């Protein structure tokens, strides 16, 4: 970490795998680049950024050609007020109505083991997530059906907020700790404990594969 006198320019970093049939429709995965200065940001939000980058690498390495474009977004200035994602949403860079889903990662260092989908999308998500249902028997992945309608309101303090407030779906993975590492995120968040030794490599590996399979699957739906 470095301290310097401001103002300092911030930049979003966005990777694109262009869609072959619907290049102006999008599936997005993202996390934020900046971190609180009291530690190294190993969990908040390196544990979100790394699976996004690795999912992009996995899809590219496999020669994936999705029907829709997939955006891999590393946002700037989240900790100061969601600056990077807010700018993206409000600047009209993409048509928000053509975003199928935005997957945001900005929480505990655990691994995705499920997702809740609205009834209208439930069968599609079951189809998309079938390859990861029992990919790792220790980390089974389950698709749940939402019992309440999706609400679009102030979504809180992470980068999905301005997407949600503009009626962009932002379904998120259910993160769990199946192997019992028992890190308490409340003791990591914005503290000097937010270090790389709080990141769990096997959970990061699994999160990367889950992210790659799900975003690629949604990008290929009819």
Sheet with 68-75, strands from edge to edge, namely: 13-17, 68-75, 22-32, 99-104
Alpha-carbon torsion angle 84, 89, 93, 98, nearest 10: 140
Give the mean pLDDT of the chain.
95
Mean pLDDT, residues 96-111 taken together: 97
This prediction has a pTM of 0.95
> Is residue 80 helix, strand or coil?
coil
pLDDT exceeds cutoff 70 at 38: yes
- Provide the sign of the torsion angle of the four alpha carbons 123, 31, 202, 191, taken in this order: negative
Compute and round to an integer the Cα radius of gyration of the chain.
17
pLDDT in tens, 173-217: 999 999 999 999 999 999 999 999 999 999 999 999 999 999 999
Write out pLDDT tens, residues 10-26. Answer: 999 999 999 999 999 99
pLDDT bucket at 1, cuts 50 / 70 / 90: low
Task: Tell me if 108 sits within 8 A of 44, measured CB to CB.
Answer: no
- Give dist(CA 131, CA 58) in Å, integer: 15
Q: Give 94's DSSP letter.
A: S
Residue 151 clears pLDDT 80, i.e. is over it: no
Distance CA 44, CA 47 (A): 7
């Amino acid at each position: 970490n470095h301290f310097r006198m401001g103002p300092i320019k911030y930049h979003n970093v966005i990777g694109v795998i262009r869609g072959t049939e619907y290049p102006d429709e999008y599936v997005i995965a993202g996390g934020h680049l900046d971190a609180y200065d009291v530690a190294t940001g190993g969990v908040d939000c390196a544990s979100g950024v790394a699976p996004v980058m690795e999912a992009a690498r996995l899809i590219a390495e496999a020669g994936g050609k999705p029907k829709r474009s997939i955006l891999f977004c590393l946002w700037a200035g989240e900790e100061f007020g969601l600056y990077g994602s807010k700018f993206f949403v409000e600047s009209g860079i993409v048509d928000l109505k053509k975003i199928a889903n935005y997957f945001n990662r900005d929480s505990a260092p655990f691994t995705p083991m499920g997702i809740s989908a609205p009834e209208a999308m439930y069968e599609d998500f079951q189809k998309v997530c079938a390859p990861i249902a029992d990919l790792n028997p220790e980390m089974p992945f389950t698709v749940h059906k939402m019992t309440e309608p999706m609400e679009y309101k102030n979504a809180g303090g992470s980068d999905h907020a301005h997407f949600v407030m503009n009626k962009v779906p932002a379904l998120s993975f259910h993160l769990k700790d199946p192997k019992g590492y028992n890190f308490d995120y409340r003791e990591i968040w914005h503290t000097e404990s937010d270090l790389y030794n709080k990141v769990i490599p096997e959970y990061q590996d699994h999160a990367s594969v889950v992210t790659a399979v799900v975003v690629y699957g949604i990008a290929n739906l009819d």
